[in-house]
Amino acid sequence: MFARCFLSASLVIACVLPPSAAFAQSEREGLFVAVGYGGRRMSSNDGIHWENIQEWKAEGGDDSDNLMSAAFGNGMFVVTGGGGWSRETQKGHILVTRDGKNWKAVEHDALNNRVIPVVFGNDRFVVGMPGGGWGKGSFSYLASSTDGETWKQGAKLEWPYDGGMQRRRGAFGNGVFVISGNGGPGNSIHWVATTPDGETITHFQGEMDPMSDLTFGAGKFVTVGKDGLRLYSEDGQNWEKGTPALKENFRNVVWTGKAFVAGGQGDSYYSEDGIDWLKFPAKIPCSIIYADEKIGIGTQWRGKMWYSLNGTDWQRAEGDEPRNGINTVVYGVPQSN
């Protein structure tokens, strides 16, 4: 399986597919959905062949057409994003689909700016919505939904610093949602918040180490960032540093089902527990944005897709590749009609 490659450095080098090929791509019951710049959306039954490509703009930027976050639950894919640099161009998006082909734009009074992240857990979606104000006392808020279409306003995320507040990443595990982001002058202040349901904030902590990505696995939340940052936490409140000390600038981290894999501008590293990390001996030619025990999916700017069935051998995916970068991939098993 894909995750077998991450058990030890020696096994990574000698990694081979099991003879049974028990995870043959034809046995997939679900669907991959990928989203990105320019409103790009596409789907795949196997993570290799991509189709149903749709987009709003041929070469999108970090603007109101940027789709940045995705989650699956209760038979529905929910995608969010947006943004914009002026009041005239700012807009937020919530889109839903069951099949990766037919998309519905959700109408909501608060979609006046970027909506991010969206996370599923505890039988509900939780999303970060734009709020109001600037500097100390400004806020955004959380909203929750069981179907991705009807949203209930929840807890306020109040900002205690100067400057603005940006929401970036989210993950669910151990019965809690963890939301992370940054803000302040130069977006230099990094923060995390926890909520069990999107309706109450149980913890907010600013002045964290600079974080670039967040995931959950092995009973822990793991976040990575610049200068070798790897933090882990079981509750999203108490964070410890992974070992050993490193200098890599990590941009992404995924959980394969057996191990965490962190990558970025240099070498990649892996860890079975989120605490102790080893160097991944093979070069990974892309940013891994999805992984499970059957497949790893990666991307390169602009919009080039990759896949690996064993973690070490990476190949370019098949299908058209519009010049719009992909931000995230999510997998789910939609309900049959």
Q: What is the pLDDT of residues 47-65, one digit of tens each?
A: 999 999 999 999 898 899 9
Average pLDDT score over residue span 311-333 = 93
Average pLDDT score over residue span 221-245 = 98
**At 14, which amino acid appears?**
A
Task: Please report, to the nearest 10 degrees, the dihedral formed by the alpha carbons of residues 146, 149, 152, 154 taken in order.
Answer: 80
Counting residues of the chain whose pLDDT is more than 90, the rounded percentage is: 81
Vertex 125: Cα angle to 121 and 127 (nearest 5): 120
Average pLDDT score over residue span 297-324 = 92
Q: Which pair of tokens denotes residue 42?
A: 């596409």
pLDDT score at 17: 30
pLDDT score at 219: 99
Alpha carbon 333 to its chain centroid, in Å, reads: 18
pLDDT score at 336: 66
Alpha-carbon radius of gyration of the chain: 19
Assign 250 a pLDDT band (cuts: 50, 70, 90): very high
pLDDT tops 90 at residue 152: yes
Q: What is the pLDDT of residues 172-184, one digit of tens each?
A: 999 999 999 999 9
Distance of alpha carbon 11 from alpha carbon 32, whole angstroms: 28
Q: Of 16-20, 268-272, 309-313, where does mean pLDDT reach its minimum?
A: 16-20
Distance of alpha carbon 244 from alpha carbon 260, whole angstroms: 15
Query: What is the phi/psi pair of residue 298, to 5°?
Result: -130, 170
Distance of alpha carbon 295 from alpha carbon 313, whole angstroms: 11
pLDDT tops 90 at residue 93: yes
pLDDT tops 70 at residue 18: no
pLDDT tops 50 at residue 14: no
Residue 175 exposure: Cα atoms within 13 Å on the Cβ side: 1
Average pLDDT score over residue span 288-298 = 96
Task: Please report, to the nearest 10 degrees, the dihedral formed by the alpha carbons of residues 171, 174, 175, 181 taken in order.
Answer: -30
Assign 302 a pLDDT band (cuts: 50, 70, 90): confident
Assign 281 a pLDDT band (cuts: 50, 70, 90): confident
Q: What order do you get walking across the sheet with 304-308 strand by strand?
A: 287-291, 296-300, 304-308, 315-316
Distance of alpha carbon 259 from alpha carbon 241, whole angstroms: 17
Q: Where are the domains of the chain?
A: 2-17+30-332
pLDDT score at 27: 62
Q: Of 8-12, 84-88, 180-184, 194-198, where does mean pLDDT reach its minimum?
A: 8-12
pTM summary value: 0.92
Distance of alpha carbon 126 from alpha carbon 129, whole angstroms: 10
- Whose CA is closest to 287, among 259, 264, 313, 304? 264
- Whose CA is closest to 80, among 152, 170, 164? 170
Note the residue count of the chain: 337
- The overall average pLDDT reported for the chain is 91
Assigned CATH for 2-17+30-332: 2.130.10.10
pLDDT tops 50 at residue 132: yes
Preceding amide of 117 cis, omega within 30? yes
Q: Where are the alpha helices (DSSP H) in the chain?
A: 9-13
Contact 223, 236 (CB under 8 A): no
Q: What order do you get walking across the sheet with 124-132 strand by strand?
A: 118-121, 124-132, 139-145, 152-158
Q: Of 27-36, 221-230, 236-245, where does mean pLDDT reach its minimum?
A: 27-36
